[in-house]
């Protein structure tokens, strides 16, 4: 599904940039743009607010199974990403800073639909200090996740407290927002 959306959006962008102004009416362009943004806006992940994160068992990058129930007891940051997503890569240093700041007070989980070979190769070139869960296409589909990056924060009982639907574009503002969310959960 994600590949389809990426290809759809890429094709749409390339098509629009390659067309003469006279060859497509602004109505066709606007209609197509509206359909894409409605599709992206209606991701099921946004319905998780104040609900328990669906249970999952996924594979860690090292091939070991990871059960979501092991996260109970601490707030958890879940980041959904993939290696050829520029905004995903751009936010990794910020996420690493957060991980370093809160050390063992919070669980740090990165979930991708890519396989462990792709992720291992990427991690050899760039540090991403979260527990890496791979081959998670079914879980992405279960959540209705169609784009990345996305960040969720749950409380110690895996109740989703934050979803980055209206996240700031500025990474410093986003980092401050995530830190505020974490601080509030750690006070509970």
Top CATH class of 47-187 equals alpha beta
Q: What's the CA gap between 95 and 83, in Å, rounded? A: 15
Q: Could you tell me which residues are beta bridge partners of residue 69?
A: none
pLDDT tens readout for residues 56-83:
999 999 999 999 999 999 999 999 999 9
Q: Once rounded to an integer, what is the mean pLDDT over residues 160-180?
A: 92
Q: What's the CA gap between 114 and 133, in Å, rounded? A: 9
* pTM beyond cutoff 0.85: no
**Residue among 153, 66, 167 at smallest CA distance from 102:** 153
pLDDT tens readout for residues 3-56:
444 433 433 443 343 444 444 455 565 565 555 444 545 567 777 788 999 999
Q: Could you tell me which residues are beta bridge partners of residue 10?
A: none
Two tokens at 55?
Answer: 């249970």
């Amino acid at each position: 599904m994600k590949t389809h959306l990426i290809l759809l959006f890429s094709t749409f962008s390339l098509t629009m940039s390659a067309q003469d102004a006279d060859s497509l009416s602004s109505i066709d362009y606007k209609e197509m743009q509206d359909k894409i943004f409605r599709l992206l806006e209606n991701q099921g992940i946004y319905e998780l607010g104040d609900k328990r994160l669906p249970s999952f068992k996924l594979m860690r990058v090292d091939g070991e199974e990871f059960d979501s129930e092991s996260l109970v007891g601490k707030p958890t940051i879940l980041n959904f990403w993939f290696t050829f997503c520029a905004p995903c890569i751009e936010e990794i240093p910020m996420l690493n800073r957060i991980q370093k700041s809160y050390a063992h007070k919070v669980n740090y989980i990165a979930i991708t639909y890519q396989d462990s070979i792709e992720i291992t190769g990427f991690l050899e070139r760039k540090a991403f200090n979260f527990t890496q869960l791979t081959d998670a296409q079914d879980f992405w589909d279960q959540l209705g996740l169609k784009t990345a990056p996305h960040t969720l924060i749950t409380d110690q009982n895996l109740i989703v407290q934050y979803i980055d639907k209206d996240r700031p574009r500025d990474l410093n503002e986003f980092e401050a927002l995530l830190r505020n969310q974490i601080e509030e959960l750690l006070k509970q």
